[in-house]
Amino acid sequence: MKKISAMVIGCGDRATVYANEGCRNLDMMRIGACVDPDVSKLEFMKAQFGVPAENCFTSVEQALSRGRMCDCIINGTMDKLHVPTTLPFLEQGYDVLLEKPVCNNEKELLELRDAAQRNNCRIFVCHVLRYSPFYRKIKELILSGEIGTVRHIATYEHVGVFLTSVSFVRGKWRSERECGSSLLLAKCSHDMDMICWLNNGTLPDTVFSAGGRDFITPENAPEGAGTRCLVDCPQSVREKCFFDAKPMYLDNCLLPWYPWQCTGKDYREITDAEKEESLKTYNPHGECAYKAGGDIVDHQTVNVRFKNGSYASHTVTLGSFRDGRDIFVAGTLGEIDGRADEGRITVRHYDRSTSWYNGRVIDVNDDAESAGAHYGGDRGLVRDFVNTVAGGELSISATTIDDSVNGQLLVFRADESMKKGVPVKF
């Protein structure tokens, strides 16, 4: 198949992951242009993907002025920029791979959907979990009828200490006031989409949600804690604190592209001395996690009743010691459960001969695509998008904007319910 050409808008972590999957791992794409106000990121795109200098733009307006240059767009901008940076490219006829969440309000969500339909363009929302062998197999099992009709779906997301800190306590998504996205929207739009996708023979009817910022708060800071780990927090206090910046960012930085973005340099070029100095002065990742001023909730539970009488529940907890996702699906003829990071699914049925149950384990680790980010979902998403742009058929995982609307609306309704303290009709 001829390689498709893509323009990357917002050349951060997620967009470059998709570009790498398309260009290197799948060899189905080339990057023809890029847009980012940060010149260092444009230099990275030139070096890593061979983007011509004349096709590197610091603004969307510059790129638009050149007319249609590529087959599609990869939009990895921050949440609140998704719609304004996508709409004008739909008018030029581009198909779009859009990082989740779509946006942070219902008006823009429907506006974007309608614009895609009007211009006959495809928008794939990056709900990558649908494409992982683990979740795809669960969808296949449900569609096969093996467990009958879905009665209840229960999902649980454990957000590990490091990711909690780097994203939702000290990071870009720590404040709904600042970034415009709630925890459910920024972190669990995957899970809300998953619930609607696995049960898409019906629609949500009523939503109730509860949660709050109750654990990672100034009142719960270790006794004697300072305001910056490396400046005024005693060593005796830091040794007992999960969020101590030195081991987390200087000794064992699991996601190094996040905490050093504020330095204005590529994380691979920053010296240890520069990292330490930033944590002591201006870097938000050097602040006391408990006193960093975020307003994102640190735990939330969502309960959904569907129109056909089935139910779903989702719980998210920040600061878990083991991160990952669990799922349990109860059907009228059987049940499914598993943990995504383990890659094994158990299917059970009632056994009349023993009045107990029998079951079998499906190991999706045998699938070559189960490795990699999001349990293999990143690669599957990019392959499906490229195949569709090239004229291929949609897969069962397809995250088109039309099919992604319900999951996104579910987030808005759940957050409304949590803030009001009452059930909300979908």
Please give the Cα distance from 11 to 162 (Å, whole number): 23
Domain boundaries, the chain: 4-121, 130-213+295-370+400-425, 219-291
Query: CA 363, 368, 369 angle in degrees (round to 5)?
Result: 95
- CA–CA gap between residue 138 and residue 375 (Å, rounded): 14
Buried b (16+ CB within 10 A) or exposed e, 377-409: bbbbbbbbbbbbbeeeeebebbbebebbbbbbb
Query: Which CATH code of 1.10.3720.10, 2.70.150.10, 3.30.360.10, 3.40.50.300 fits the domain covering 130-213+295-370+400-425?
Result: 3.30.360.10
Q: Tell me: cis bond preceding 37? Omega within 30 of 0 counts.
A: no
Position 380 pLDDT exceeds 80: yes
Please give the Cα distance from 44 to 46 (Å, whole number).
Answer: 5
Provide the H-helix boundaries in 348-398.
377-389
Residue from 153, 197, 191 nearest 305 by CA:
153
Q: Are 364 and 344 in contact (CB under 8 A)?
A: yes
Q: Looking at residue 373, what is its pLDDT?
A: 60
* pTM: predicted TM-score of the whole model, two decimal places: 0.90
Q: Is residue 269 within 8 Å of 41, Cβ to Cβ?
A: no
Architecture of domain 4-121: 3-Layer(aba) Sandwich (3.40)
Tell me what the mean pLDDT of segment 77-95 comes to. Answer: 95
Contact 179, 172 (CB under 8 A): yes
Q: Give the integer Cα–Cα distance in Å for 197 and 212.
A: 27
Task: Give residue-wise pLDDT tens across range 188-209.
Answer: 999 999 999 999 999 999 999 9
Per-residue pLDDT at 372: 60
The dihedral sign for the CA sequence 167, 168, 171, 172: positive
What's the average model confidence in pLDDT over 409-415? 97
Of 191, 128, 151, 171, the residue nearest 317 (C-alpha): 191
- List the structure tokens of 326: 């669990």
Identical topology for domains 4-121 and 130-213+295-370+400-425: no
Measured from the Cβ of residue 116, the count of other Cβ atoms closer than 10 Å reads: 21
**Which alpha helices (DSSP H) does 199-344 contain, by range?**
229-232, 235-238, 245, 272-280
Per-residue pLDDT of 282-295, as tens digits, reads 999 999 999 999 99
Are the beta carbons of 155 and 325 closer than 8 angstroms? yes
Residue range 229-259, pLDDT digits in tens? 999 999 999 999 999 999 999 999 998 989 9
Work out the pLDDT band at 368, boundaries 50, 70, 90: low
What φ, ψ does residue 90 adopt, rounded to 5°? -65, -35
Per-residue pLDDT tens for 105-130?
999 999 999 999 999 999 999 999 99
